[in-house]
Amino acid sequence: MQTLIENVNIINPFEEVKNSQNVLIEDGIIKEISSSINAKDNVNVIDGEDNYLLSGFIDCHCHIFAKGFHKEENMANPLGLHFYNAVPHASQTINAGVTTIRDCGSADLSFKLAQQRRLFTAPKIHLSITPLVMTGGHFDLLLPSGFDMEVMYPGFPKGRCDGVEEVLKKTREVKRAGADFIKVMCSGGVLTTNTSPEFPQFNKKELKTIVKEADANEMKVSAHCHSLKGMNNCIDAGFSSIEHGTFIDKKTAQKMAEKNVSLTPTLLVHQFLYKNGFPAWDNYAAEKTAKLKEIVKVHKENISVAYSEGVNLLMGTDSGVIPHGHNLEELVHLTDIGMSENEAIASGTVKAAEFLGFDNLGLVKENYIADLILVNSNPLDDVSILSDNDNILKVIQDGIQVKN
């Protein structure tokens, strides 16, 4: 089956805009880009109407099943809702122009299989299944009451583990459950009571054990980490990426750049929560807000330092902590810390694709996967236009139109 997109202006980061082009797609791959194309008689034609075509975006940090991570909902809701929530979340993510996600905890193999079988419209997914957490650490959801609020069911292992032997076994369990990469909670966080973002979690022996086992299976390891000491522990252990990176400093940024450790700053989530707060019925709202205020004070400035020192920044939103469908607002926050429009777009397209191991995704080029979005104006002039989902006219995934 062929699809021909006619009369579009093609945008790839750091390249001149290619005006008045036609794009021929066959079997999910871009076969030809030219001002004049001879297609088969039964080709599906999409009139681009002189709009702008660029790669579909990759959100490198989200939680597609999650709806705020409210412990009260875990306790009250039947397990089925955990899965059904993913259907509207997936649609919202697609409509925002995101065709691939890297899920940093909560989704399981069922979502990946459902997307591949096209049971519903959804972004492609790279799975971490569940994060590894230490006893008493971020996302250890055993409350002082003795009730455990961690979602549990067959095929979804509990993340709690301590010591070299347990983290080794847990890494293997998560891989067995279908993970594409390993996620580790390496500092406290905002959402978990009795943890604080500035303190590291897991010791160096535990972290190195996780990385060694992941390396044996050619899997990357990612760290939820706000803590400066925690980041340095992860860098020394061989982690591939740091998520959030709130308290990063110049010396640590230089170390990350030297060792090619990427950073997903998730600037949007903290700004969104700071502005909108938590539900009134959230029993932990006051504690979360106090921690959030400390993060917001320094996050933007510190990420600007990381950018200046050459750290590879990836676009990620932490959607699921906040409502889904706001994904490309993150690009505005990236330009606020000094990135150009080209750099911001690259962080969510070609740079993200490279990090995930693709050499044929993230650009509008021949022989690349046809994950594409059509927008009504040039985001290189003003990247904020991408934050309005109404400006994203069409989304194409593997050559199939999934938003019109």
pLDDT in the model for residue 50: 98
Q: Where are the beta strands (DSSP E) in 333-389?
A: 372-375
Shared-domain flag, residues 167 and 243: yes
Shared-domain flag, residues 293 and 152: yes
Shared-domain flag, residues 47 and 74: no
pLDDT in the model for residue 152: 87
CATH number at residue 202: 3.20.20.140
pLDDT in the model for residue 353: 98
Shared-domain flag, residues 298 and 219: yes
Q: With contact defined as beta carbons under 8 Å apart, do 130 and 160 qualify?
A: no
Alpha-carbon distance 84 to 64, whole Å? 11
Shared-domain flag, residues 311 and 387: no
pLDDT in the model for residue 98: 99
Secondary structure class of 77 (helix, strand, coil): coil
Name the β-bridge partners of 132. 184
pLDDT in the model for residue 390: 98
Q: How many residues does the chain have?
A: 404
**How many domains, in total, are found in the chain?**
2
Q: Which of 338, 356, 374 is the last residue of a domain?
A: 356
pLDDT in the model for residue 350: 98
For 171, what's the count of Cα atoms within 13 Å in the CB-facing half-sphere?
Answer: 28
Low-confidence ranges of the chain (pLDDT < 50): none
pLDDT in the model for residue 366: 98
pLDDT in the model for residue 75: 79
pLDDT in the model for residue 363: 98
Shared-domain flag, residues 148 and 47: no
Radius of gyration of the chain (CA): 21
User: Which residues constitute the domain of residue 143?
Assistant: 57-356
Retrieve residue 141's tokens: 């959801």
pLDDT in the model for residue 73: 77
Q: With contact defined as beta carbons under 8 Å apart, do 291 and 197 qualify?
A: yes
Q: With contact defined as beta carbons under 8 Å apart, do 186 and 133 qualify?
A: no
